[in-house]
Amino acid sequence: DQQVKQNSPSLSVQEGRISILNCDYTNSMFDYFLWYKKYPAEGPTFLISISSIKDKNEDGRFTVFLNKSAKHLSLHIVPSQPGDSAVYFCAASVRDDKIIFGKGTRLHILP
C-alpha cells in the first residue's frame, strides 16, 4: 500500500517555463514533507522541505505547496533550466521515524 504517490512517471517542460511536480499521500500522521532530486548513478540530494504547519515554502526557483485537506503537495520550479532534468522524489515522514519515498517523476527540460 503506497503511502506516498507520484502518479506521473515523467514530465517534459520547455526551458524557461514552469515545472510542476505533484505528489499525494495517504497517511495523515505525516508531519514533514521533502523533495529530493536524483541524477543517474548518484545518490539523491535534498532539495526543499515543508512542515505540516505551513502551506508554502520557497527557496530560490523552488517552491513547495502543501494542501493538507487534499493530502497533496506540489513542487514548482520556475524558470526551468536544463540542469533541472533529473528524477524528483517526493518523501514524507513522521518526525524521528522512517522516511517514505514515492516512485519518482522523471523531469525532462526541453531546449
Partner 1 sequence: DVKVTQSSRYLVKRTGEKVFLECVQDMDHENMFWYRQDPGLGLRLIYFSYDVKMKEKGDIPEGYSVSREKKERFSLILESASTNQTSMYLCATNPTGWAEAFFGQGTRLTVV
Q: Is 111 in the site for partner 1 (CB under 8 A)?
A: no
Select the residue interacting with partner 1 from 21, 24, 44, 77 (CB under 8 A): 44
Q: Are 65 and 48 in contact (CB under 8 A)?
A: no
Site string for partner 1, 5-34 (x = CB under 8 A): -x--x----------------------x-x
C-alpha span between 32 and 26 (Å, rounded): 13
Residue 41 engages partner 1 in binding (rule: CB under 8 A): yes
Rounded CA separation 48/18 (Å): 17
Q: Is 7 left (phi over 0), alpha (psi -120 to 50) or beta?
A: alpha
Site map (CB under 8 A) of partner 1, residues 49-88, x = contact: x---------------------------------------
